Chain A
């Protein structure tokens, strides 16, 4: 099959850029470990409390070491359960100092949900029977809205929270 000289140049240039591009994202993924959220652990969605992370007393924010935090969440239509505060009121805002490393661990009791801390790289699907987990460094100060970004029913847009980095 005949290819025009210019077309050969064009395709060579295009394919070379493609190879460089794939090498860059491959390097980032396998050497630097920046894969998208792909946690493989499963759970019985009808009994999430049996898992240590999702016992009622373990929900919400816990400081595990200096500057290191974990946040455990149970999603259900149409709410994120971050546990309760001292006055037994449901927590809606997670407060962490700037520069801290936060590990978000979340599962769903019912349908598929999303969990995105808007303005950060924390963005994951939450599915019944699976645990999603992502660690992020909170580099910037400010208020970040947590939104459910996968349709979960007619109250979907009422499912939210907030991360405050101070």
Chain B
């Protein structure tokens, strides 16, 4: 099939409607969650108190749940459905199952969101036991997870059906990447699902009296780190297979991209202890082993960095720029579909360095639970990942609505990206510095015991409010762009830019698509990293904890 022709063929209306539904939830979440973020920075500046007795930790929980769990998951699943639809197709039955997944996730989201907003779940998005939210919060979360599994299994089925019809062919690269991401998601979210369904729900309903706190935390972080890769891999999909097309080039290497994704699958899950480095009750040798496994992610990250810049250079040179850096100047800087993800890539350099610091066995003690960590993931997820998602939305939304990304909207997108960069540079830098000085994350405004140290922190909190305000302006502009692209942009055909392979590219080794092998190694690594410490934790358990409601303001 001619790639370009397929790129320009719009989806049938029925398919586009499913993919767009996920986009609506994404952008509503952006507005709601972003507003909460703005209010948080205001409160922490010490110059503002929330009206109507709204609790700081209520808006903090909304911010984390709506942006960290809802926006990301809905965008990813919608985007991945569109990728699958484009590369391997979707049947009527698969589309219907896709709708079941959408509604299940939406009902779960609304349940959890309402429970938080009425003040019955001030537990933050990590919901650490024994703080006890209303059962509706946990049931809502369980629905979101199970709904996401339904879409994962639909994606597996889509590729399976395609493979049967295309015997002996390698799967399309983007479909392969979607399957890797969903395999990782299913294997990882089993941990949190077990914790929510077996531990939290019966305990919050009163069917069981106590909960094992350390087991619940360990299960959460077994899920919590792959969660961040689940956000990142769709961005990598765009970097590997979409950006090359946008800049007018070809795929760098199909096999290399697949290998990087496989390595990310292998080393994404057996690493959760690096979030628990300062916890009691876990043997430090096992913490160290998981630190080593965590750092393996450096390898696919370096491969990705190389591929991307090699693509930029090769494309530029083909266009005839022969000087050392001439190709760099001639990248399509005025095209927001390239510019926004590019800024995301740049932000990943300090983001990645910060990540290495956080996961370093000892250095973690300096930054653990300080606002440095918040600064870190606002670079990674809220800049690298989010700007790439925006970069995707600029063409995906008009492709789905049968409209075009006009010059004027493109320009607004460039402005949006610049606003975001300025706001985030201010906010994230202030957070990093304040964190190094010991300022805590996840805390309302407080002067603590007073003194010079605390005064220094508050100066940085003012800077965060300035950065947060600029970011919120960026969010409003993005919402405007989304509405334009959805309802008002001129009708036409916006390309779904999938890069093609070079004609003389080398064949991809078959072993890269041996699912039994890669899933087998993934499970073996998880078993290696978790079996012994988990048995230790369970064997040396203290008495379980009863639910604590009053600390989060529940009667």
Within A24-62, the residues touching B (CB, 8 Å) are 25-26, 28-30, 34-46
Q: Is A10's CB under 8 angstroms from B361's CB? A: no
A109-120 interface code vs B (CB 8 A; 1 in, 0 out) = 011101010110
B425 within 8 A of A: no
Whether A25 touches B291, Cβ cut-off 8 Å, given contacts A127-B213, A130-B280, A158-B446, is: yes
A13-30 interface code vs B (CB 8 A; 1 in, 0 out) = 011001001100110111
Q: Is A143's CB under 8 angstroms from B306's CB? A: no
**In the bound complex, how far is the Cα of B292 from the Cα of A30, in angstroms?**
14
With both beta carbons as reference points, the residue of chain B lying nearest to A128 in the complex is identified as B545
A11 within 8 A of B: yes
With both beta carbons as reference points, the residue of chain B lying nearest to A157 in the complex is identified as B446
B452 within 8 A of A: yes
Q: Is A35's CB under 8 angstroms from B213's CB? A: no
Whether A44 touches B543, Cβ cut-off 8 Å, given contacts A22-B292, A149-B369, A157-B446, is: yes
| Residues of B close to A11: CB separation below 8 A | 299, 302-303, 306
Size band of the interface chain B makes with A: 35 or more
| Residues of A close to B56: CB separation below 8 A | 154
| Residues of B close to A29: CB separation below 8 A | 284, 288, 361-362
| Residues of A close to B277: CB separation below 8 A | 36
- Contact partner, B253, options A2, A41, A112, A126, Cβ 8 Å: A2
Whether A129 touches B437, Cβ cut-off 8 Å, given contacts A37-B280, A143-B453, is: no
A150 within 8 A of B: yes
- Contact partner, A14, options B292, B299, B454, B548, Cβ 8 Å: B299
A-B interface, 4 closest residue pairs, ranked by CB to CB distance from nearest: A129-B542, A118-B438, A153-B551, A157-B446
Residues of B within 8 A of A (CB): 55-57, 122, 124, 126, 128-131, 213-214, 217, 253, 255-256, 259, 276-284, 287-288, 291-292, 295, 298-299, 302-303, 306, 310, 356, 360-362, 364-366, 368-370, 437-446, 448-449, 451-454, 506, 508-509, 540-543, 545, 548, 550-553
Q: Please give 17 more A-B residue pairs, beta carbons under 8 A apart, in addition to A92-B449, A121-B365, A160-B449.
A: A1-B256, A11-B303, A18-B295, A35-B362, A36-B287, A38-B282, A40-B283, A111-B131, A123-B366, A124-B278, A126-B280, A129-B543, A149-B442, A151-B126, A152-B551, A153-B552, A161-B449
